[in-house]
Every structure is written in structure tokens, then in C-alpha cells.
Structure 1
Amino acid sequence: MHVYIVMGVSGVGKTTIGKLLAERFCVPFFDADDFHPLRNVEKMKKGIPLEDEDRKIWLQTLSEKIQEWNMKRGAVLACSALKEKYREQLQSIPKNDISWIFLHSEYEIILERLSSRKNHYFKPELLESQYTTLQIPQYGIHVNVNTSIENIVKQIMQKLDKESRKSKIGLMGLGVMGKSLAVNLASKGVTVSVYNRHVENLEVDIARKFAEKHRENYHFSGFDDLKLFVESLESPRNILLMVNAGKAVDLVIESLLPMLQKNDLIIDGGNSHYKDTARREKFLKEKGILFMGTGVSGGEEGALKGPSIMPGGSSEAYERVGDFLERIAAKDKQGNPCCAYVGPDGAGHFVKMVHNGIEYGEMQLIAEVYHFLRFHAQSTPEEIATLFELWNAEMQSYLLEISIDILRTKENGESLIDKILDAAKQKGTGGWSTNAALELGVPLDTITAAVMARNISGKKEERIAAEEHYNSLASKNDISEAFSEELFEAYKAASIINHAIGFDLIKEAGKEYDWNLNLSEIARIWTNGCIIRSAFMEDLVELLKESSEGNVLMHPKISEVLEEDWKPLSGTVGRALENGYPVPVLSSAANYFLSFTSGQSSANMIQAQRDYFGAHTYERTDKPRGKFFHTQWKPIKE
């Protein structure tokens, strides 16, 4: 259903026009004046202007009625709604279910109307206070009433018809993810305008061709003219950016700004750095524009069928578009959307960054196990796929699942994996996680190891030369069924540690930036749609409820697993290194766990060294924490 609110100062014809519109729409008409408590009516009869305190109960009543009408047939309401905060209180239903119709004219014209009106408790002398109070809305339909009633209604109907054809959301950037998200939105009943830049001989008619391709199933309005694209959107506008992170986002925002109005919203759905997101939100807020930095995970398929979505930034903005985002998100096992407001500033993009960091660790972990099996145990890709399939009956990991498909893919009868160059790259988010951990003073062993493994993989020619120089340190040997089981236990232990490290970084960032992050809810929206979804992620939803302030590794259930799997992990690392096979994530997981569980570390030597050469001071075990000491380590020769 739909509610139309006809607003403006007293005397603009709200009741007359509202009744005519109600007849057109075949819905009931209501006058907000009829809902005023008696004491408000008495004040206005005496010519006393109402104050905000007088309107509080009245607005609450109307807000409840609007919800009621929207659930039934809809309605037309005549209501002054002079201030923005009044209108916000009346907005008790989704913004898309309300149409605001602002009737206005010059003070003198309305005063003359009021002066000739009889038997109404509103006194003409109150009009001046209403014009003083009026805050003109930056949205809705605006009609000057200094014309005939027939013409006013005609203008309203024409504008409503035009508004009904406008899109609820605009999407800029029709790359792989942008196209998939646009189709996803349209499939959920959201009207979408799409824009892609025009570059001669490179990007030509991208948006138009996209709209043409999907014409039989969905209606997209396609543009390569930015002004027409913005004008095609409902006001206040919602614009989703799916462009490359970095300078491109700033350039797009810069080009949009002259065409935007107060309360328009920009959503950055790319992998932007969280500090850039916080900067952009602050900049746009000063201009009255809302901004959300929103992490989206799931790749092309997830974007099309349902990704995991991590919105951060303006909570006011999420209230407006959260329904759209939740509609297109994947669903967890309880049927709830894998989308939730994460927190202010750059929280959404920070959480997406750490998601990608955990993803780096999980991918490298699988790669290390594959590599050890393929070249040390000399297992075939099909044999490894069969083993991974057995493991995944328990793990239910998306990354293991796709690795199985990869290992079984053949080209001309040969395994395609053997034809792929062993040189990977990192696009930024993994490295950003490491930098963030350094800034926050949080250990990030597995994720950093995964990033560095990609970096060294890129040095292909140097690695080949070094292998020849050292005459290859790697050995080959069959492995037993017992070791296959031990390898699985090692993989599980390292995966648990990798997840714990990632969530520890999120927890510390939440404290540092006062984001009030809900770790359990973050795990929940990662249970489906995203790249790191798994059975363990589902376990983490409950585990993090129980230990939201501590490290995951201290939870009794996790302790039980790691106490059992520690020896397989350390044994696997030792065997791999002894036989000449690098396992950076497996070994960093083992080292992290040993460091984490060691009450006595080697850092006392570090502190002594620092004090020796730099007089940096140190704390003592036999003195209270917080007191610092310095020693003259080398006697001064007289």
C-alpha cells in the first residue's frame, strides 16, 4: 500500500486537494488536524502558536496511524509537517511507501485565503509563525497553488506518474560485479538505473547494451550521460558505486556532487580502504550528502544470487536502503539476510578488508596442502580432489569446494591446474590488513604470511634460478593413510588459528575506533554468500557470543580441538620443512599458537637489547607494571 501526505502551511488547500487525490486513488482521506488533542485545539483557537512539546503526542499518533493505513488500503493525509524533524517522525514506514506533496505559494496569497475562511479555529495571525517554522523539503513533489484546483491536481498526477517511473536506486560501473548486482536488485523488485562511462573505442554504449540484453526479463534505464542518470532517480537519490577503489571513487564523487541534493546517498560497494571511506563520509556529511562504505563478498556468482554485505558509515543511510541490501543478500540457515549494519565511519570496509585477509590465509593454506601432496607425495590432482572431498564433508568450506572443482578440471585430457603459472598477486586488501595490524599492535601471522607468499611467488625467474643453484632441496615420498589424517588435523588447526587472528584484529579495531562491533553478527553474515563461508564460520556465530571480549582460542570448545590437533600441526610443519616444502601459513599458525600459549616469551631479551643501545627502558618482573627502568649495561671506563 501507499500513503500520500499533502503538506504545507495552513491555507494552501491541503484538505481540498487531499480529498480529490483520495477519490482518484480510491483510498480514505484523513486530516491531521482531527487528531490534535483538545488542548492543542484550544491553544490555536486563542491564537497561541503550538510548540514542539504540544506536537509530540499528535505526531506520535499520526505516525502510528500511517503504519496502520499502510498495512490496509493506503491513505491520503493532509498535514502541515512544517519541520524536517516532524516529517522524520511521520516517516514510520519505508520511505518508498510515502509520497510527500508540498503545496506552497507566497505569504500574501495564503493570508488573503485565510482571511476569507470562516468557522475554522486557525487564526490568520498564526500564518506568520508557520512561515517562520517552515523548512522546505528537498524531496517530494512541489506545486504552487496559485492556480486552479483542477490544474493543481493535474500537476500532482503528472509528477506522481513521472516519479513512479523513476528508479529506486542507481548503479554506476558495469563491470562483472556491477552487472551481477544490478540483475540481483531487479530480480528482487527494485527499479534500477545503470550508468557506465563512455570511452571512444573502449567502453561504448555499455549501459544501453546491458539494458537491451536483459529487456525481456527486467526494465533497466541505461545511461552514459551522468546528468540524465541522476535525474532518472527517485529523490532522495540512492547511488551505488561499483568502481575501482582509490582515486576513481573520489573522481566519481566529484563529478556527482554538482547534481546532488541534501540527503542524497552514495554507497561505495568496492574494496576501498577504510580510512578513505571515513574521510569521504566526513567530507560528504559537511555537504549534506549521506555516504556508506559497503563491503560486498561473493564474487560474480554471489553478487548475482546473493552476496554477504557489510555496510558501514551512516546509520541513517542504512535505515533508508537496508531493505534493498537485505533483499539481495544471501540468507543464513535461519533465512535471515547475510547483511547487517556493521558500524560507523569505515567499519564496513574494515570488516571487508579483514574478511579478505582471512580469505588470503585460507587460500594459501589449501594451496600449501595441495602443493605438499602434489609434489612430495606425488598424488594426482584427482587423488587430491577425492581427499579434499572427504575433508569437506566435515569442513563444508566454499574454498575447499571450489578447489575440488579446480583439481578435477581438465583441458585436452590433462589437468588444467598443472598448466597454470605459479605466480600470484595481491590486490591490496591483504596488505592493508597487515598494515592495519601493525598500526593497532595486533599479531597477524597467518594473514601476513599469506600475503608474503604471494609476493615471493611473483619472483618466478629468481626462484627457478635459486632452485638450480641449490640443486632443489625438495624430496619425494609416498605418504601413508595415517599421515593423510594427520595432514587434515593440521589443516583444521591452522584454519581455526587463522580465523581467530582475523577476528582478533576486528575486535581491537572496534575498541580503538569506538565502532561497537558485534563479532558474532559479523560471523553470521559470513555464513553464506561470502568466499570464506564454512561450517566453522557457523560455529563461530555462537562461540563469539560466548567469548566476544576474549580471543577465540580461549573458548573451551576450541581449546579441546587445538589440544588434540597441535601435534599433527607441528608434525606436519616439521615434515614439510625437513623435506624441502615451504608451508608459510601452516608454520606461522604453529608459531602464533606457541607464542600465544607461552607465558614466558623471548621479549625480555628484546627489551634488554633496546635499553642497551637506545636507553628505551624496560619493566621488571619483580616490580609493579607501569614502572620503567634503565640500566647502564656496560661499565664506563674511568
Structure 2
Amino acid sequence: MGVSGCGKSTIGKLLSQELGLPFFDGDNFHPETNIKKMSSGHALNDDDRQSWLETLNDLAKQQLAKNSCVIVCSALKQKYRETLTKDIQHSSKWVFLQGSFEQIKERINNREGHFMSSDLLKSQFDTLEAPKNALQIAISLSPENIIKTIKNELMTTSEFGLFGLGVMGKSLCRNLATNGFKISMFNRHVEGVEEDIAKNFKAQHSELDQAEAFDDISSFINSLQTPRKIMLMVNAGKTIDHVIEDLFPFLSKGDILIDGGNSNYNKTKERFAYLKTKNIHFIGAGVSGGEEGALKGPSIMLGGNKETYKEVQPFLEAIAAKDKNNLPCCTYIGNEGSGHFVKMVHNGIEYVEMQLLAEVFMVLKKLGNNPDEIATILESWKTTVNSYLLEITIAILRKKEGDDWLVNKIMDKAGNKGTGNWTTITTAQLGVPSTMIASALFARYISFYKEDRILASQNFPSSNQVKPDVSTDEILKAYQFARIINHYQGFTLIQEASKSYKWNLNLSELARIWTNGCIIKSDLMIELVTIFKTTSNILTNENILKELNTLKPAIKKVVSECILHELPIPNLSESINFLHSFAIANSSANIIQAQRDYFGAHTYQRKDDTSGKFYHTNWN
């Protein structure tokens, strides 16, 4: 690409010969009306160019279906380039032939028989929007050196780098390579601990034949096309900062770092601001789906500068899961740390979904069902409340080791990696009552006190060995009810953060990318995509309200029976407690406010005064 007269056709023909690929000159595809207009001394407008650009896009797709090709085209504006590479972004590479107005005017005046005169050159320079993500080559170089540069830069260097080959990093590498990207992979070298990780990983998988493997940072960085795009798949926390400092001496202005770990969104905001002062772009990417999702298609949530997102968009959209309309489950979330924020809340919702299934298991077990029988019951629920977590729970319950179910042998101590903790802290800081996330987190904390629980079970022996008077249908309805409240609380937290941080988050789009590839994908999430198009509060949706009112008797009965029979169900219980606290016009908070005023003179407002005035009473 480049303005008319920069030598595109000459270089394009030479490159096609060197690579053994078909060559096409975009000028030859102009409709007759465009040629007449330019021949009469008039510049083309966007409408004139649109059908021409679409024709070239179709041509490129046809050639890609066979192999590849070289096309030369002025492609002066970013939106032109977007049309030219529509649906084939990750298969397209741009070379921008760059020269001064004087250089190119002289060339145009020296060529013969072309329909465009040098009089129109200024309009091309005025129109030109220099590409950010292209190989830029000065036309002052000889054609031979230009071809050599193109081959060296585009044919031997990698398009995308991945730093850190843990479970997720390895899966993402294989995903990128399978989607046709040339990648460079890095893993540190630690004598006697981590040696030749990248090299050995490449040797194990045929799809990585064209990938480059490194354990030296300088060589890794130099193997990448500029601006470099590097995804960091290392542990959250100080490790990320250490890696950034290690990379920094080798980076160039405009390079892009993508943190694909579970980083705290506040730290992502700080890193975003710090690297901006160094002219390095930073993206916080929430990646959900676990090892299998990373390999076959995860859900990806990207936060940072929108223009930077566009540069990595072709890569990450190509490897993402696809929704029911075959659109990538990858989207731009918002600025700064918004990508990691929504991933954090995603994990909070996930905590609750897991805890609810654990509580359902406990109740069904109390009714006398073994793991196989519970799995069969849950299997029957899939037509009503299917989700990824329901499906894996069924598989877990059916897994046997010898004559016993494996789940019976697993220590009942649940760990966590911090995101549930961060979500609970954040919901308190923002003043949002995401009570079920906090309850699920504390349930994990309680589980970790195994020895204390054993002692407490001896000191407080259960006095009720009778089965709860609940049916499996009532348990299903209670589970449905609790899940709706969980999703209400989680998305409300996201909405409040969006307002507080001015992120302007799109809840419907967020729900859409959570319909596949991620841990919390479910039929309910698919429903929420449509619901969030008209409201940010699902408790105002007519269908949700009708469903909750229908399910309410079941959750009340299940929770009551479980409490009477001493079954711990913190999240099922919290779902109905929350609604009872929320759906009450006159709460008990007037007593609390009076107490605050009594001992601390914190004042209060009165129901019989609509002015908003604050009062203080001498209670003695």
C-alpha cells in the first residue's frame, strides 16, 4: 500500500515472483466510472471506492482459499484497510511504501500512460492515514533491498509472542499456531529446574513446527515483528512487574504487552498508566475457560486503549470461542483495568455457581442418593438449567476409583487463588451488596478449618437424622432461584463499577462473550444477552420476575427444611435472605440509623420530611 506512484506495482510484482504467488494490481479492478473520474482530474470519494474495495476483498478471499497472493492497492484510510481485510484480518499482512511528496511527484511525472496525473497526488497525501500495524519501508531503498526487507521482516519473524509456558500459556500457543499464526514462545531457563521448556514443548506438538522457541529474552524479542505483540502468561502479582522490567530494555515505542493472567484490576490500572509514560501499550486480558478453553477457544475480556485493542483483535478473536451466531467470544470491554475487573467478577459468580452445586449435592446426598444417583438427577436438570459447571459436576460424580467414587476420597478443603477475595473486597468498597459472592468465599474459608470442624462436629453433634421433606423438583427450583439472584448481584457489581470508573461497559455484550468458552457459560447466560439489551437490572425484567415468584415457594421450603435438618447451605439460604432484605419497602435500618445517631450523632433523615434534611436527637 501507499500513495499512487510510490512503486507498489513494481515491488508487488517482484515480491510475487520471489514468493511464487499470484500478483494483482488493485488499479486494474477499478470500475470504468472511477477511471473516467480520475482521468478527468477529479479525486475519488469514499462512495466511489467502496465497491472497488469490496471487490479486492473478495479477490483476496478467493486466493486465500487456494493459497495466497500479493495485491497492491493505495488503501489510504484505515477504514479502507478494514474493508480490504474483512473476515481475513489474521491472514493479511500490510507493507507500507513510504516516501516524501517531492520524491513521488517526480516519479509520477516520469511515468507514461497512467490515468492519474501528479495534480491528484496532494489529495492522496491529504487522505493518507499512515497504518500503525504495517511494515514501513522507505522507497529510497533499491527494489532488491525492499524485497529482502519484506522477506526478512514478514517471512522470518513472528507475528505474536507468548511469554510463559504454564498450562494456560501452552494451550494458547497451540491455539494460535493451529489458527495459522507464526508465533514465538518464551519460557525462562532455571538451571536444574526449568531447562529447554519452550524447545521441548515445540517438539511435542506438530502444529508448532513453524513456531520459534526461546529461553533468552533478547532473542525472543528480536524474533517478533514490530510493533511487537507479547502476551504474558505468568503468575499474577509481583511476577508480572518483574517480567515487565525484564522485557523493558528490549522493547520499542509502540510495542504492546498483554497481561493474560488473573491480575488485580487496580494493579492493571497502575501498569497501564506507568507503561503509557514509556510509550508502551498495555492490555489487561481476562481469559476464561481453563486449559481446555485456552486450547479450543476461551472467552477473552480485553481492557485498555481501544486503538491498541484493534491491533491485537485479529489474533485474539481468531483463537476465541464462538457464540451461537459464530461471533468470537472476545470483545473490547473498556479502558484501563476493566478487562481484569470483569474477569474478577466472572470468577466471583463462578464461586457461587460452584458452591450452589456443592450444596445441591449435600441435600441430595442427605436424601439417601449416592454419587451416581445424584449425577442421574442432575443429568435430568440439563434441559432446564444446563451449564458448563453442571456438566462437569455430573462427570465428577460418576468418576470411580476402584469400587468407590473418587469424590468420596477428595479432602473437603477448598482452595482459592484470590479473585473471590478481591471481588468481595471490591463489592464492599463500591457499596454493592454482592452477598452471595462473599458467602461462597467464606464457605471456602470455613472448609479449610478441617481439624477445627472435626472437633466442632463432636461438640455439636447433629440431633436430626431424618431426611428433609423436599423433592428433587423443589431442589431444582431452589437452585434456579439462587442462580438468578447470583447473576443479578454479579452484573449489578459490574454495572456500578462501570458508573464509578466511567468505563461505559456493555452488559449484553459481556453476557454474550460468556455464552461459550468460559467456566460460567450456561443457558441462563444466553437469556441474559437479550435481557440486558433493554435493562441493566434483571429484577425489572417481566420474565425474570415471573420466574422468581414461581420459584420462591420452593427456595423457602428447601432452605427451611435444610436449616431444620442442620444442613449447611449458605448460598441457597443467602439467595432468599437477600431477596427478603431487598424486596421490602420498610426495613429495620431505621433502628440502626437511630443507634448511630444515639452514640455517634451521625444524624438521620425522616420519612415525613421529603426535603432530604438531616436530623439529630438528644436521646437522653
TM range (shorter): 0.7 to 0.9
Match of 2:291 in 1: 300
Q: AA paired with 1:476?
A: Q
Alignment of 1:71-82 (within 5 A): 71-72=58-59, 77=72
Gaps of 5+ in 2: 61-68
1:335 Cα deviation (Å)?
Answer: 2.1
Match of 1:392 in 2: 382
Counterpart selection for 2:557 from 554, 566, 571: 571
Q: AA paired with 2:414?
A: A
Paired residues of 1:378 and 1:477 also in contact (CA < 8 A): no
Q: AA paired with 1:368?
A: E
Matched, 1:476 2:465: yes
Paired residues of 2:161 and 2:231 also in contact (CA < 8 A): yes
1:201 alignment partner, SS class: coil
Cα distance in 1 between the residues matched to 2:610 and 2:259: 49
Matched, 1:461 2:457: no
Gaps of 5+ in 1: 43-53, 147-151
1:606 Cα deviation (Å)?
Answer: 1.0
Cα distance in 2 between the residues matched to 1:116 and 1:391: 76
Match of 1:344 in 2: 335
CA 1:452–1:144 in 2, change beyond 3 Å: closer, same or farther? same
Cα distance in 2 between the residues matched to 1:327 and 1:167: 16
Matched, 1:488 2:479: no
Cα distance in 1 between the residues matched to 2:35 and 2:600: 75
Cα distance in 2 between the residues matched to 1:458 and 1:185: 38
CA 1:569–1:16 in 2, change beyond 3 Å: closer, same or farther? closer
CA 1:296–1:193 in 2, change beyond 3 Å: closer, same or farther? same
Matched, 1:181 2:169: no
2:258 alignment partner, SS class: strand
Cα distance in 1 between the residues matched to 2:26 and 2:511: 46
Once the two structures are superposed, residues 142-172 of structure 1 have per-residue CA deviations (whole angstroms, 9 ceiling, x without a partner) of 35736xxxxx222222222222232221111
1:254 Cα deviation (Å)?
Answer: 1.8
1:529 alignment partner, SS class: coil
Match of 2:316 in 1: 325
Alignment of 1:172-251 (within 5 A): 172-215=163-206, 218-251=209-242
Match of 1:100 in 2: 95
Paired residues of 1:195 and 1:226 also in contact (CA < 8 A): yes
1:555 Cα deviation (Å)?
Answer: 1.6
2:23 alignment partner, SS class: coil
Cα distance in 2 between the residues matched to 1:283 and 1:489: 49
1:18 Cα deviation (Å)?
Answer: 6.1
CA 1:327–1:114 in 2, change beyond 3 Å: closer, same or farther? closer
Q: AA paired with 2:480?
A: K
Cα distance in 2 between the residues matched to 1:260 and 1:67: 37
Cα distance in 1 between the residues matched to 2:190 and 2:215: 10
Paired residues of 2:255 and 2:281 also in contact (CA < 8 A): yes
CA 1:114–1:540 in 2, change beyond 3 Å: closer, same or farther? closer
1:291 Cα deviation (Å)?
Answer: 2.0
Alignment of 1:564-603 (within 5 A): 564-603=550-589
Match of 1:518 in 2: 506
Match of 1:451 in 2: 441
Paired residues of 2:388 and 2:519 also in contact (CA < 8 A): yes
2:301 alignment partner, SS class: strand
Counterpart selection for 1:500 from 488, 491, 494: 488
Paired residues of 2:350 and 2:519 also in contact (CA < 8 A): yes
1:259 Cα deviation (Å)?
Answer: 2.0
Q: AA paired with 1:396?
A: N
CA 1:615–1:345 in 2, change beyond 3 Å: closer, same or farther? same
Matched, 1:153 2:107: no
2:333 alignment partner, SS class: coil
CA 1:346–1:367 in 2, change beyond 3 Å: closer, same or farther? same
1:205 Cα deviation (Å)?
Answer: 0.6
Provide the TM-score with structure 2 as the length reference.
0.86
Matched, 1:27 2:14: no
| CA-based RMSD | 3.4
Matched, 1:420 2:416: no
Match of 1:263 in 2: 254
Cα distance in 1 between the residues matched to 2:288 and 2:615: 49
Once the two structures are superposed, residues 255-287 of structure 1 have per-residue CA deviations (whole angstroms, 9 ceiling, x without a partner) of 222222233221111111112222222222233
Match of 1:363 in 2: 354
Match of 1:438 in 2: 428
Matched, 1:281 2:268: no
Paired residues of 1:440 and 1:509 also in contact (CA < 8 A): yes
Counterpart selection for 1:69 from 38, 53, 56: 56
1:613 Cα deviation (Å)?
Answer: 1.1
Alignment of 1:520-539 (within 5 A): 520-539=508-527
Cα distance in 2 between the residues matched to 1:333 and 1:306: 14
Cα distance in 2 between the residues matched to 1:111 and 1:379: 82
Cα distance in 2 between the residues matched to 1:587 and 1:111: 75
